């Protein structure tokens, strides 16, 4: 029952954004090589002939004929074709759960020619590539397709329509409808194979909360814009605050203050820095403001705290 409810919620949240659809025919090790890279979005590869090898930092596996491969965002990976082999496949880049991303550039992401070298890493100097997004949703790496003929027809349709994109201002509507057809087919395939296309992570928000805390631990001495951090998680500020407080019993803003005050207490106990230096070191250049926050949190001023914990 819980999975039925989960899937209803997922299907309600589906908001497909298609970035690229294409067809690769009779590629070989000599003319086709994807260097090490990390993508912003999901990449789907459906092999119709031959095989291709996918390698991540943790594993290496082969995707063969009539298999569908899904690469999740932000996974470093490369793909290559074995020597003396060839491969034909359809490729599709998309977001299942679209967020506002006006800075995204399909041209920069996928169309710019890639130099063929071993161990090349695409330079990640675009804001949208550095942006983090955590959905709490897992997808399988490989699916065995039982009805490859139908899926081939659907992928061929979206590849054809993608070529018209530059001349059709409404093409995204058409491409989205094509992807929903593909998703529908994959959901049926998964049901017949007693597997799942979408499944929840162990904790839907654990990754987000851990990332936020890690950011604070590394950046507490610098100005912190919580709105910018939260925007990278694809959540509203209010929803993140609710999720964070449920897990940590503190609002995000209060957590930042508490962490900085704890660091300040350590510096005060060390006795190696002046008061204003400690304030600046924990992200508060204005000592008077720092002192008010400290007293509100600890019940005593930084100066009195120092006297109370002064090393003898």
pLDDT tens per residue, range 12-22? 778 888 988 99
Quick one: 185 exposed, middle or buried, by C-beta within 10 A (0-12, 13-18, 19+)?
middle
- Answer yes or no: is pLDDT of 121 > 70: no
State whether 210 and 236 are in the same domain.
yes
Judge if 104 and 154 occupy the same domain: yes
Better-scored residue on pLDDT, 145 or 105: 145
What pLDDT does residue 6 have?
A: 65
Examine the domain organization and report whether 180 and 211 are in the same domain. no
> Do both 231 and 196 map to the same domain?
no
131 and 40 housed in the same domain: yes
Same domain (yes/no): 186, 276: no
Mean of the per-residue pLDDT values of the chain: 82
> Within the chain, where are the H helices?
2-13, 106, 127-130, 148-163, 171-192, 206-219, 226-231, 237-248, 252-270, 275-281, 287-298, 302-308
Of the residues 184, 200, 216, which one is the last residue of a structural domain? 200
Angle at 248 between CA 242 and CA 251, to 5 degrees: 50
> Total structural domains in the chain?
2
CATH code for position 294? 1.10.10.60
Of residues 159 and 72, more confidence is placed in: 159
Domain C-terminal end among 141, 173, 200: 200
CA distance 287 to 302: 10
Domain stop point among 200, 217, 236? 200
> What is d(CA 228, CA 230) in angstroms, rounded to the nearest whole number?
6
Do 19 and 164 belong to one domain? Answer: yes
Residues 299 and 211 in one domain: yes
* 262: containing domain: 206-308
**181 and 240 both lie in a single domain:** no
Query: Which pLDDT score is estimated for 200?
Result: 67
125 plus 139 within the same structural domain:
yes
User: So what's the pLDDT on residue 135?
Assistant: 53
- 187 and 283 together in one domain: no
- 194 and 234 together in one domain: no
Angle, nearest 10°, between helix axes 148-163 and 171-192?
A: 170
**242-258 per-position pLDDT tens digit:** 888 877 888 999 999 99
Q: Say how far apart CA 91 and CA 107 lie, in whole Å.
A: 16
Convert the pLDDT of each residue in 41-97 to its tens digit: 889 999 999 999 999 988 999 999 999 999 987 788 999 999 999 999 999 998 887
State the CATH number of the domain containing residue 35: 2.60.120.280
């Amino acid at each position: 029952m819980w999975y039925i409810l989960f899937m209803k919620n997922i299907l309600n949240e589906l908001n497909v954004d298609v970035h690229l659809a294409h067809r690769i025919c009779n590629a070989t090790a000599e003319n086709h090589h994807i260097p090490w890279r990390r993508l912003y979005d999901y990449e789907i590869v459906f092999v119709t002939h031959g095989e291709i090898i996918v390698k991540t930092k943790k594993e290496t596996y082969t995707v063969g004929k009539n298999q569908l491969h899904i690469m999740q965002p932000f996974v470093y990976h490369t793909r290559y074709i074995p020597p003396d082999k060839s491969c034909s496949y359809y490729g599709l880049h998309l977001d299942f759960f679209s967020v506002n991303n006006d800075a995204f550039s399909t041209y920069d992401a996928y169309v710019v020619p890639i130099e063929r070298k071993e161990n090349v890493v695409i330079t990640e100097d675009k804001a949208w590539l550095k942006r983090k997004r955590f959905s709490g949703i897992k997808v399988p790496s490989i699916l065995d397709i039982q009805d490859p003929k139908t899926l081939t027809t659907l992928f061929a349709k979206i590849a054809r329509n993608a070529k018209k994109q530059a001349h059709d201002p409404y093409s995204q509507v058409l491409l989205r409808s094509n992807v929903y057809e593909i998703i529908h087919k994959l959901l049926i395939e998964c049901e017949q194979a007693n597997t799942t296309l979408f499944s929840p992570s162990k904790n839907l928000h654990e990754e987000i909360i851990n990332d936020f805390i890690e950011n604070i631990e590394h950046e507490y001495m610098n100005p912190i814009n919580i709105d910018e951090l939260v925007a990278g998680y694809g959540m509203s500020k209010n929803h993140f605050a609710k999720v964070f407080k449920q897990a940590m019993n503190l609002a995000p803003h209060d957590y930042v203050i508490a962490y900085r005050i704890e660091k300040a207490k350590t510096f005060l106990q060390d006795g190696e820095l002046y008061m204003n230096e400690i304030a600046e070191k924990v992200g508060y250049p204005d000592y008077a403001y720092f002192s008010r926050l400290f007293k509100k949190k600890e019940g005593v001023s930084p100066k009195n705290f120092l006297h109370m914990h002064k090393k003898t």
